[in-house]
Structure 1
Amino acid sequence: MSVGAMGVFGRRLLFAVDARGYGSADTARQRDIQTVLPRLLSDAAEAAGLDRASWVRQAGGDSEFAVLPAGSGEQALVEPFMRRLDAGLRAYNRDRVPAARLALRAAVHFGPASEAPNGFVGPGPVEVSRILESEPLRRALAAAPDATLAVALTAPIFTEIVAQGYTNFRPEEFREVVVAKKEYRGRAWLWVAGCDVHTLDLGDSDSGSDSGSDSGSGSEPDSPSGSRPGSGTASGSASAPNSGLASDSDSGSTPSGVGGGDSVTNNLYGTTIRGNVVFGISK
């Protein structure tokens, strides 16, 4: 087999997760988060029939980026993994005061990712990182103070897994948003455990502009008030899981097929990316 300069091409199932409020926590609280997070992820993986020991993982204290083995089931990572993760978080938080409760943001993508000397390269790892750190996902979790988990799915996962009925999630449980950040532009579908994501105010999300610069500090936004309904179904077509989703260029144009979703500017903070190499997802 002929191998090009970039090595062997492949598409992989990608997962990223990050804890809310880690940077403002004291040392004892940070240690507690670092202890419980791997356990919660392992419990959720076991419930979903996923072999977490086979994941290639990059830990970041309050976060993790993982590349799952080829052939891993996309639907299992959406459900029951996310349901079990939410249940584990609720059990952990049950007897804790609000300041000590744990809440997570998570993102799932299926796209190009190839091994490199210091991690993985390709648009796939970059995309899942950008979605994880996107402003709408941060705002969705901040706007639902009782929620423990906010999840963002990229187009290949939502359109070909959720929308096609391969999980027990209903498509209308998700809210479509547009994430724009410098060279990256794409869609994501948000789900917040235990609440109607369409009632959440995600801030100024109508302009769809891509300034090409970081517009925010990356800190957790204050919980907004009010409501803004969004779209929970896919508009247009998207790549199937076996074809991946390529990032758009710096043209600033709206991706083909984007309809009634919210348009937002993404903030990338705490993820070190050099070229297309993701070195970790941490603050």
Structure 2
Amino acid sequence: MNENLIEAKPRHRLLVANDIPGFSRRDEAAKIAVRQALYTITQNACEAAGVRWRAIRHEDRGDGIFMILNSAGLETLLTPLLRETLAGIRRHNRSVIDPQHELQLRMALNDGYVHQDPYGVTGEAVNLLFRLLEAETFKRQLKESTADFGLIISDSVYRTATGYRLIDSKDFTATCVDVKETRTHAWTYIPSGS
């Protein structure tokens, strides 16, 4: 056996990443305010969906959060978590006076096998998650809609969720993803009335 090989221990996980568009264009006080709002909304949404925040492995991304969920299922993420996140964003935006403190959020959801080590997680599922989040077509859809929330999910998540009727396929739009070496299609949801 080659001693240089690291023993991989892949585990299937649900992966979520979110990002605040236009974060770097805000002044420092606004960045602090919207980061605090992002964490408050995300933690509250997880708890309301029955996913304990302390049980989630999460990594700060400056203008977003990367979350690895060990035990929550799609039925948790595609219903209560999204509903609570959207409600939290809308409550926050109604309460602020300064437009720089308003929150718009992009969220990506994928599932797959990842290798977890002391530094974090790695794997194709992680790469795809962040390619989805950065897809120009998704960014453009959200910007043109002026909505305060948008979700993009991988094709595998979409097929599973529609197959089990966790989501309504009419709410989602097929979207091309062409980021770095990744060329695939995914599905976006941008709720009306945002």
CA contact (8 A) 1:155 1:188 kept: yes
Q: State the shift of 1:195 in Å.
A: 5.5
Q: Is the 8 A contact 2:34 2:102 kept in 1?
A: no
**Aligned residues: CA RMSD:** 1.8
1:241-280 aligned at under 5 Å gives the runs none
- More moved, 126-135 vs 45-54: 45-54
Cα distance in 2, alignment partners of residues 65 and 8 from structure 1: 20
Residue matched to 1:175: 173
Q: How does 1:146-161 map to 2 (within 5 A)?
A: 147-161=147-161
**1:1-283 equivalence runs, <5 A:** 5-69=6-70, 71-96=71-96, 97-145=98-146, 147-166=147-166, 169-194=167-192
Structure 1 or 2: more strand by fraction: 2
Q: Deviations over 1:210-247 (max 9, x none)?
A: xxxxxxxxxxxxxxxxxxxxxxxxxxxxxxxxxxxxxx
- 2:134–2:179 Cα contact (<8 Å) kept: no
With the length of structure 2 as denominator, give the TM-score of the two structures: 0.90
Query: How many residues are matched?
Result: 189
Extract unaligned runs of 5+ from structure 2: none
Give secondary structure in 1 for the equivalent of 2:24.
coil
Alpha-carbon distance in structure 2 between the residues aligned to 1:177 and 1:65: 22
Question: Which residue identity is paired with 1:148?
Answer: D
Q: Give the match's secondary structure for 2:30.
A: helix
SS of residue matched to 1:10: strand
Alpha-carbon deviation of 1:105?
A: 0.1
CA contact (8 A) 2:135 2:177 kept: yes
Quote how far apart the aligned CAs of 1:157 are: 1.3
More helix by share: 2
Q: Contact (CA 8 Å) 2:10, 2:116: kept in 1 or not?
A: no
Q: TM-score, normalised by structure 1?
A: 0.63
SS in 2 for 1:46: helix
| Partners of 2:51 and 2:181 in 1: CA distance | 33
Call closer, same or farther: CA 1:95–1:195 in 2, change over 3 Å: closer
